[in-house]
């Protein structure tokens, strides 16, 4: 059974930083593209960033380019999202997702999802 578990969310002041982590078990971690997504209540879920199996290719939503950095440690089966210079518009529930295959896109379907971790940025 595949399990996807996010952690690292919390409350931070504008301009601050957070690091999200996502552990994935029950599949071959290194054979899956991974992504971070976010969703506010009543809004559509949107892509934040994704990374291919090797970690050499990454993609970011325009709203987070230059502030967020995605990375993965295949040996630890863990995905990370370093978030810097946070602003109140980044307040959302952040989800981690995995999909079999080497390439990632923010607009593709992902097979496995976590329950999310809340990020709240105060002004």
Which residue, 53, 50, 56, 23, is CA-closest to 38?
50
DSSP H helical segments within 1-123, as ranges? Answer: none
Q: What is the pLDDT along the chain (123 residues), one digit of tens a residue?
A: 999 999 999 999 999 999 999 999 999 999 999 999 999 989 999 999 999 999 999 999 999 999 999 999 999 999 999 999 999 999 999 999 999 988 999 888 999 999 999 999 999
The answer to whether 51 and 26 are in contact (CB under 8 A) is no
The answer to whether 84 and 67 are in contact (CB under 8 A) is yes
């Amino acid at each position: 059974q595949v399990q996807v578990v996010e952690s690292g969310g919390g409350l931070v002041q504008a301009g601050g930083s957070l690091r999200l982590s996502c552990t994935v078990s029950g599949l071959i971690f290194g054979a899956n593209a991974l992504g971070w997504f976010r969703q506010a209540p009543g809004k559509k879920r949107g892509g934040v960033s994704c990374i291919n199996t090797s970690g050499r290719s990454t993609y970011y939503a325009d709203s987070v380019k230059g502030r967020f950095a995605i990375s993965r440690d295949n040996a630890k089966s863990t995905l990370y999202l370093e978030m810097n210079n946070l602003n109140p518009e980044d307040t959302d529930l952040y989800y981690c997702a995995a999909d079999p295959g080497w390439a990632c896109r923010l607009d593709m379907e992902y097979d496995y999802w976590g329950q999310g971790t809340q990020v709240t940025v105060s002004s």
